[in-house]
Every structure is written in structure tokens, then in C-alpha cells.
């Protein structure tokens, strides 16, 4: 007895279904790739997203923000960001928008790196400045004790001279404490050696008196 026609055709239908499913899978993959790649390509070409003027303005803002965090041209990333920013502006003014967009993007990335580097540097300076202030405070406290010991019973003229010298020591350290309170850590670190030298010289004077 022969098999029904529907059964004879079933292998062909299965083959067609497999091909159809493969085609659907290929289309899904192609669609996924297109969704991933096409928008990026359009942004890259400047056909999607902010225009050149807006990108240059955003890069300029990023550089300004980095400066507020203490980024200066002595940081490699900041120096490079400023160069790219200047290039982006010049290219934009020249009508070379594609190149200007890329320069602006590089400036933004570099500005972000400079900002992070500035934060790390400021934190490092803060720690070192705090240590310097603590050491100077300790040195002045010891100097005050030594001053009280050495000037007890001392002749008035010499005592007045040493008192004036102590005022100079206090002024030098007070200036650095003020700089610390104003978060001017660089000034604290720059002034630390001189303040220590003044304290040391005063100690020698007292010991010799």
C-alpha cells in the first residue's frame, strides 16, 4: 500500500522549514549588528547626535571643569587636552567639521583624565601638607617650652630680643596654617622648609642663651 501524499512530502517541508529558520536567524543577527553599528557610524559621521558646534562647546566645558579641580598644564593629560581643544576650535572655524568633532572628542577624554589626575595630586598634597602642619605645630610647641625655660631670670633686653624672634617664628607658622585652612596645600609645602629653618635657628639661639 502506498503512503499518503502528505507523508511523502513531509521531508521536503522539513527541509524548507530549516532553511526558513536559518534565514530568520541570519536576519536577526544582521539586525542586531545594524542596531549596534549604524548609530555609532552615524554619530561618527556627525549625522546623529550633537553637531560640531555643540561638541566643541562640550569639550571646552570639560577642560574648564578640569581646571576647577586643579588641573594645570604641567599635567601631561591637561596639556594635551588644551592642545586638542585649540585644534578643535581652529578646525571648526575653518569649516573642517569632521576633524573638529574628532579633536573635540579627544579633548574631552583628555580633560577627564586630567581631572582625575588633578584630584589624585590634590589629595596627595593635602596629606603631605597636613603632615607638615602637624610637624611644625609640634616644633613650635617644643620651642615655646624651651623659650620659657631659657628666658626665666634672663636680663630684660635679651629677653625682649628673643621675644621678637619668637614672634617671627609664630608668624611664619601661622601663615602656613592659614594656607592649610584655605586648602592652599601647595603653599604649605613650598613654605615648609623655610618655616623649619626659622624654628631650628630659634632653637639654636635659645640653647646658646
Q: Please indicate, yes or no, if residue 202 is contained in any of the structural domains.
A: yes
Q: What residues have CB less than 8 Å from 68, skipping those under 6 apart?
A: none
Q: Please indicate, yes or no, if residue 183 is contained in any of the structural domains.
A: yes
pLDDT at 165 over 70: yes
- pLDDT for res 20: 64
Q: Please indicate, yes or no, if residue 109 is contained in any of the structural domains.
A: no
pTM of the model: 0.63
Q: Please indicate, yes or no, if residue 82 is contained in any of the structural domains.
A: no
Confidence bin at 204 (pLDDT 50/70/90): very high
Distance of CA 9 to the CA centre of its chain: 71
Q: Please indicate, yes or no, if residue 92 is contained in any of the structural domains.
A: no
Q: How many domains does the chain have?
A: 2
- pLDDT for res 42: 43
Give the tens place of pLDDT for each residue, 125-137: 999 999 999 999 9
Q: Please indicate, yes or no, if residue 26 is contained in any of the structural domains.
A: yes
The grid cell for 196 is: 623649619
Give the tens place of pLDDT for each residue, 26-48: 666 655 555 554 445 445 555 44
pLDDT at 19 over 80: no
Q: How far apart are CA 16 and CA 71, in angstroms?
A: 65
pLDDT at 93 over 70: yes
Domain residues for 191? 126-208
Specify the range with the lowest mean pLDDT, choosing from 2-11, 19-28, 163-172: 2-11
Amino acid at each position: 500500500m502506498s503512503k499518503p501524499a502528505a507523508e511523502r512530502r513531509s521531508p521536503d517541508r522539513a527541509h524548507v522549514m530549516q532553511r526558513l529558520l536559518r534565514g530568520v536567524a541570519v536576519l536577526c543577527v544582521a539586525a542586531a549588528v545594524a542596531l549596534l553599528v549604524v548609530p555609532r557610524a552615524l554619530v561618527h559621521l556627525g549625522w546623529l547626535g550633537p553637531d560640531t558646534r555643540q561638541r566643541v562647546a562640550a569639550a571646552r566645558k570639560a577642560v574648564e571643569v578640569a581646571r576647577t579641580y586643579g588641573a594645570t598644564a604641567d599635567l601631561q593629560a591637561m596639556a594635551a587636552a588644551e592642545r586638542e581643544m585649540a585644534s578643535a576650535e581652529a578646525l571648526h572655524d575653518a569649516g573642517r567639521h569632521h576633524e573638529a568633532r574628532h579633536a573635540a572628542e579627544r579633548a574631552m577624554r583628555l580633560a577627564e583624565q586630567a581631572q582625575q589626575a588633578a584630584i589624585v595630586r590634590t589629595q596627595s598634597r593635602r596629606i603631605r601638607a597636613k603632615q607638615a602642619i602637624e610637624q611644625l605645630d609640634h616644633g613650635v610647641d617644643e620651642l615655646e617650652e624651651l623659650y620659657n625655660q631659657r628666658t626665666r631670670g634672663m636680663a630684660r633686653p635679651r629677653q625682649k630680643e628673643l621675644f621678637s624672634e619668637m614672634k617671627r617664628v609664630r608668624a611664619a607658622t601661622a601663615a602656613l596654617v592659614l594656607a592649610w585652612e584655605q586648602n592652599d596645600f601647595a603653599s604649605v609645602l613650598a613654605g615648609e622648609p623655610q618655616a623649619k629653618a626659622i624654628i631650628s635657628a630659634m632653637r639654636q639661639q635659645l640653647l646658646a642663651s
